[in-house]
Structure 1
Amino acid sequence: MKMKRAWLAAVILMALSHGVAAATVALVGGTLVDGTLREPIRNSVILVEGERIVAVGTVDSLPVPAGAEVISTEGMTVMPGLWDMHVHLMINGHADYDHWDKTYPPQFGSVIMPSSAEQLLMAGITSARDLGGPLEESLAVRDAINAGKIPGPTMYMSGPFIQKKPYPGTEQFRWGVDSPADARAKIRRLAEAGVDVIKLIDQDQMSEAEVAAIVDEAHRHKLPVIAHAHRPEEVRRGLRHGVDGFEHTGFGAAPEFPADVMEALAARTSRMADGPLFWTPTIEGLYNFPYTVRNHEFIDSDSWHRGLTPAIIADIRKSLEHPERIAYFQQTPQRQPTLRRKFEQLRSSGVVLLVGTDSGIPMKFHSQSTWNELDVWVNQFGVPPVDAIRAATYWPAVAMKVDGDYGTVTEGKYADIVAVRGDALRQIALIQNIDLVIKHGKRIK
């Protein structure tokens, strides 16, 4: 403890000696849930210099430098910036995909994707993974955010879905493969363009050689492969060929994951040398549907209007006039009762669960989705709040191999910090109203 205090004092002294004390920001007084396994820090102090956190302590252990800008977090829960590990910036909650895909591609890069990104950031999502979108627009939006030209989370982009055959009219953001050589060529093209991750779907419709080629070529370029898990054979093939993570729970109305899939998961998670196997269940949209179809006042919120044109807002609203008729959810009454069991199976299997939402699908607005996922995990499925928060902060950073810079509120990392009034460990739904958002040291909200 004495050594740590001496180090903190040295950091502060260095800042003062270089005349940058005025650039120091101090968050003072809140209960810090820092994303590690440490107990919450009461009466916390977080010192930020530029984009980085330089010290973390308490009001008793860490003095605030003279001249620092003080932001009071009294009465607040302070956390690392949240991650959403499964979003689609190119869609915004519209009920009719066919109409959307025919109407809005010209506005994906200029209006729709920037709007989605800003809505995520204002909801406290400081990092997000986009799994399926047009290549050029995805990278342009990511790079514009990183350059400070438009607001949004730090984005990790897959570009187009990789699948056996794109659905008609979706070739802009779905790429088919017709041989192992073609599969490798498509992955090389994505890697050379600069994507962060590969999104693989419908791999049970591919040959084993095509799946193997996709995963091998992606790994050659140090890109993780994230695969759909809608059907058992998708999981089997993904495991056989070494994908890095799975999305969704799927399987129609099957009451649980098949025994052979669970055995294969146990075998994979027991191989410690291979590292964690990540799984993003995106559970909330299906689990809450019976409630939201009857209680859809949230559609009247204007939080999802941010950045969209009046015409787009009107079109989305019109498409949601009858939530009970949305074709996307036609199988949900059969699937919804299976979700709890599948979630429990995944928790017990040894996979690392990540918070992600499929944000952008019908009625799932980027401004509202992530807190709902956390709420279901904690209040319906019994996940301890700290574990749920780590699944939305620490573990996503590990999954994307950026935990040296993100995921916890600790010295040396980027100052991505959010805060909410009240005790979020007792009432996780408080996260629906994020009061403070800091990204890379800059206060956004």
Structure 2
Amino acid sequence: MRTLFFLLTASIVTCFYSNGQTKALVGGTLIDGFGSTPIKNSVIIIEGDRIQAVGQVGILNIPDDAEVISTEGMSVMPGLWDMHVHLMINGHADYTYWDKTYPPLFENVIMPASAKQLLMAGVTSARDLGGPLKESISVRDRINAGEIPGPTMYVSGPFIQKEPYPGTEMFRWGVSDEKDAREKVRELAKGGVDCIKLIDQDQMTQAVVNAVVDEAHKYDLTVVAHAHRPEEIRKGLIAGVDCFEHTGLSSAPEYPQDVMEMIKERTAQMNLGPLYWTPTVEGLYNYEYVRDNREKLDNPKWHLGLPDTVVQDIKQSFKYPDRLPYFQLTPIRKPTLERKVNQLKDAGVVLLIGTDSGIPMKFHIQSTWNELDVWVNEFDFDPMYTIRAATYWPAKIMGVENDYGTISEGKYADIIAVNGDVLRYISLLQDVDLVVKHGKRVK
């Protein structure tokens, strides 16, 4: 049946090609994002910015006018998603200093550099969770218009929280009561955000948390909430938060039993759809290795798009990686990460790949593949499960699964390829050989 489908597809689509726009990726092993057995000797026909046909060599006809791109010996897969990035930061270790010094460069220097680095790492879609509203919308829209390179971005704009931290009012909005919460969410929705980011909700009343989520859902916006503390999770679950972020700041060995019971009760309610969670473990899990083996800090790839003065400032900020206050609890927290992630997985949560990219010593050019590597090689997760957490499921939660997330007919041609078998060696993703975004080869 599959062969017949490919033959029928070939006969249907061949007549629709136009000169100069058709590409054919030929020969690679295709991991299409749906989770089934990879397709050997694959052929992917791209017309303009969309995928027109998927098949195999000898079965699917390649148009005579197509630009043929060989993927022989390569793993071919959908472009990666990173579901938790911060375009406004680039690895600098002093947030207070950064927040006072660099806002004038956010829109035209810092955030575009972050976006370009993500794209060169094979990230063709990303969710930015926490940034100034105007700048976030501007960068997203300029990327979409083809004015600057970067992934297709989904942005939250400013965090919603009880009170902004001093000096962060540009990208953190406080809410005082239910009325204020609804007004702030409406302002973000009308400003054009793609989701709402909620943090420190354990400091709010349940009524205020409910108001944030309810108002966001009126605008068909998903609500993404911090899960650092148990009460953040409890209040978020009661309110109907769609996706939680992180695995917690504490060194507690596991989530409390009552929290796990609430999570299991929520995942059992299939009428509500999946409960999503972005654990963002790589930054913590790899800290000690990066601290003691500094090759990643010395890798010039993370300089891409940044002025030398900014690069030198970032370097100076982590001159002594072992002294950074941000990571002092990490050696205690690290052993808890695998247990907590497995608690969530076993409870039926849909896990998503996200990295907190941009936090101290974590660069957009490197973070995403490291997250996949930790899941596969440290937590022993199935590689196919992990790849779907970076392709299929992110598109699903963002409501764009008809256009993104898999390599299939009619969807945007967001495709990456690496030399070798990525299902056996997930670390191959650290050096993506081919990046196609919306049908255009960008690497």
TM-score (norm 1): 0.98
Aligned 8 A contact 1:232 1:251 in 2: no
Q: Which residue number in structure 2 is paired with residue 8 of structure 1?
A: 9
Taking the aligned partners of 1:234 and 1:268, their CA distance within structure 2 comes to 15
Q: Which residue number in structure 2 is paired with residue 60 of structure 1?
A: 58
1:235, CA displacement in angstroms?
0.2
Q: Which residue number in structure 1 is paired with residue 269 of structure 2?
A: 271
1:3, CA displacement in angstroms?
5.1
1:327, CA displacement in angstroms?
1.3
What is the SS of the residue equivalent to 2:213?
helix
Q: Which residue number in structure 2 is paired with residue 86 of structure 1?
A: 84
Q: Which residue number in structure 2 is paired with residue 144 of structure 1?
A: 142
Q: Which residue number in structure 2 is paired with residue 289 of structure 1?
A: 287
1:6, CA displacement in angstroms?
4.7
- What CA deviation, in whole Å up to 9, does each residue of 1:184-243 have, x standing for no partner? 000000000000000000000001111011000000011000000000000000000100
Q: Which residue number in structure 2 is paired with residue 109 of structure 1?
A: 107
- What CA deviation, in whole Å up to 9, does each residue of 1:274-327 have, x standing for no partner? 000000000111111121111111111111111111110000011111111111
Equivalent in 373, 380, 384 of residue 386 of structure 1 = 384
Aligned 8 A contact 1:93 1:365 in 2: yes
Q: Which residue number in structure 2 is paired with residue 410 of structure 1?
A: 408
Counterpart amino acid of residue 316 in structure 2:
K
Does 2:257 correspond to 1:259? yes
1:104, CA displacement in angstroms?
0.2
What is the SS of the residue equivalent to 1:266?
helix
Counterpart amino acid of residue 339 in structure 2:
R
- What CA deviation, in whole Å up to 9, does each residue of 1:422-443 have, x standing for no partner? 1111000000000000000000
Q: Which residue number in structure 2 is paired with residue 437 of structure 1?
A: 435
What is the SS of the residue equivalent to 1:4?
helix
> What does residue range 58-207 of structure 1 map to in structure 2 within 5 Å?
58-207=56-205
Aligned 8 A contact 2:10 2:53 in 1: no
Aligned 8 A contact 2:279 2:353 in 1: yes
What is the SS of the residue equivalent to 1:183?
helix
What is the SS of the residue equivalent to 1:92?
coil
What is the SS of the residue equivalent to 1:79?
strand
1:13, CA displacement in angstroms?
3.1
Does 2:368 correspond to 1:352? no
TM-score (norm 2): 0.98
Counterpart amino acid of residue 389 in structure 1:
I
Taking the aligned partners of 1:188 and 1:7, their CA distance within structure 2 comes to 48
Gaps spanning 5+ residues in structure 2: where? Answer: none
1:4, CA displacement in angstroms?
1.8
Aligned 8 A contact 2:277 2:350 in 1: yes
1:152, CA displacement in angstroms?
0.2
Aligned 8 A contact 1:24 1:48 in 2: yes
Q: Which residue number in structure 2 is paired with residue 328 of structure 1?
A: 326
Aligned 8 A contact 1:115 1:308 in 2: yes
Aligned 8 A contact 2:80 2:390 in 1: yes
- What CA deviation, in whole Å up to 9, does each residue of 1:61-90 have, x standing for no partner? 112111210000001000000000000000
Aligned 8 A contact 2:392 2:401 in 1: yes
Taking the aligned partners of 1:135 and 1:326, their CA distance within structure 2 comes to 29
Aligned 8 A contact 2:83 2:352 in 1: yes
Counterpart amino acid of residue 350 in structure 2:
V
Q: Which residue number in structure 2 is paired with residue 214 of structure 1?
A: 212
Counterpart amino acid of residue 118 in structure 1:
K
Counterpart amino acid of residue 427 in structure 1:
Y
- What CA deviation, in whole Å up to 9, does each residue of 1:19-66 have, x standing for no partner? x14421000000000101221001000000000000000102112111
What is the SS of the residue equivalent to 2:292?
coil
1:337, CA displacement in angstroms?
1.2
Equivalent in 242, 245, 248 of residue 246 of structure 2 = 248
Taking the aligned partners of 1:148 and 1:224, their CA distance within structure 2 comes to 26
Q: Which residue number in structure 2 is paired with residue 42 of structure 1?
A: 40
- What CA deviation, in whole Å up to 9, does each residue of 1:401-436 have, x standing for no partner? 100000000011000000001111100000000000
Counterpart amino acid of residue 121 in structure 1:
L
Aligned 8 A contact 1:11 1:54 in 2: no
What is the SS of the residue equivalent to 2:25?
strand
The change in CA–CA distance for 1:32 and 1:5 in structure 2 (over 3 A counts) is closer
Taking the aligned partners of 1:227 and 1:215, their CA distance within structure 2 comes to 10
User: How many residues get paired?
Assistant: 442
What is the SS of the residue equivalent to 1:155?
strand
Aligned 8 A contact 1:117 1:152 in 2: yes
Taking the aligned partners of 1:353 and 1:5, their CA distance within structure 2 comes to 32
Q: Which residue number in structure 2 is paired with residue 305 of structure 1?
A: 303
Aligned 8 A contact 1:162 1:201 in 2: yes
Aligned 8 A contact 1:15 1:21 in 2: no
What is the SS of the residue equivalent to 1:41?
coil
Taking the aligned partners of 1:290 and 1:317, their CA distance within structure 2 comes to 18
